[in-house]
Amino acid sequence: MQLPRLFGETLKLKVPVIIVNFKTYSEATGARAVKLSKLIEKIADNEQINAAVAPQNIDLAKVAEAVNIPILAQHVDPIKPGSFTGSILPEAIKACGAAGSLINHSEKPMNLNQIKVAIERLRKLKLISVACAKDVENSIQIAKLRPDFIAIEPPALIGGGIAVSKAEPELVSGAVAKIHKINPKVKVLCGAGITTAEDVKAALRLGTVGVLLASGVVKAKDPARAMRDLCSGLKF
């Protein structure tokens, strides 16, 4: 169990881990984001596994007040404080209690220079960077930028219930090998279609330290049951 958060403290992202991205699903927006985060925290605690959530940025502060698991923003912009109306400032997510941020999700893509600056800004603020990569080539480019994590997520499999770890095992193991050749310190996750314990086990067997998933929990008929099943895959 994580110790209670001290004022202004950001929590560490321990591995192996299941990160649940809330995207902009209505099932995980506003008060429902808080409720789902509490559920995920409780199950992770009972099952003794590491879990983190990525609510919408507008819900970060409320979720951070409610739970003691690491919280990630879904996106930050590669900016410093100043005149950037409508942008997401890395300092702002830290002030909300986020431990770090996803960046370059295929639903919020960035160019390489933007990814580089975002990683540097997060690092400077002691925030975790979880950079998504759409394919092996993209993961190689991003590995050179020294993110803390790379999540390999082929867009074609996102939201479809066919797990990348089962459907494209070579893509995952190939990405892990190539990323580690460039930078062995980068922790690799995979995501897209992960819905069962078997999918999580397969991801770990391929050399990842966990999974980034969304619909398998957020859109599940019974999110608690789905989360419990996923957790059992992390403990094998």
Whether the upstream peptide bond of residue 169 has omega within 30° of 0, thus cis, is no
Query: Of the two residues 161 and 207, which places its CB atom closer to ligand G3P in the complex?
Result: 161
Query: Of the two residues 91 and 106, which places its CB atom closer to ligand G3P in the complex?
Result: 106
What's the closest the beta carbon of residue 125 comes to ligand G3P, in angstroms? 22
Binding segment for ligand G3P (CB under 6 A), chosen from 9-17, 137-145, 167-175, 214-222, is: 214-222
Of 41, 75, 153, 168, the catalytic one is: 153
Query: Of the two residues 5 and 217, which places its CB atom closer to ligand G3P in the complex?
Result: 217
Query: Of the two residues 5 and 60, which places its CB atom closer to ligand G3P in the complex?
Result: 60
Instruction: Give, in order, the Cα–Cα distances in Å from 175 to each of 27, 46, 101, 170, 201.
Output: 32, 32, 21, 8, 17
**Residue 105 known to be catalytic:** yes
From 10, 17, 21, 98, residue interacting with ligand G3P (rule: CB under 6 A): 21
Binding to ligand G3P in span 79-108, by CB under 6 A: 105
**Residue 27 known to be catalytic:** no
Residue 157: closest CA among 213, 229, 104: 213
In the numeric block, which tokens belong to residue 143?
């590995």
The residue count for binding ligand G3P (CB under 6 A) is 14
Binding segment for ligand G3P (CB under 6 A), chosen from 44-52, 79-87, 88-96, 210-218, is: 210-218
From 43, 213, 226, 231, residue interacting with ligand G3P (rule: CB under 6 A): 213
Binding to ligand G3P in span 136-155, by CB under 6 A: 153
Helix ranges (DSSP H) in the chain: 31-47, 60-66, 90-95, 112-124, 136-143, 164-167, 169-182, 197-205, 215-218, 223-234
Q: Would you say 189 and 151 are in contact if contact means Cβ atoms under 8 Å apart?
A: yes
191 binds ligand G3P (CB under 6 A): yes
Instruction: Give, in order, the Cα–Cα distances in Å from 126 to each of 7, 18, 80, 129, 228.
Output: 16, 21, 15, 9, 31
Binding segment for ligand G3P (CB under 6 A), chosen from 44-52, 136-144, 200-208, 211-219, is: 211-219
What single-letter DSSP state applies at residue 71?
B
Phi-psi region of 82 (alpha: psi -120 to 50; beta: other; left: phi over 0): left
Which residues are designated catalytic? 105, 153
Which residues contribute to the site for ligand G3P (CB under 6 A)? 21, 105, 153, 158-159, 191-194, 212-216
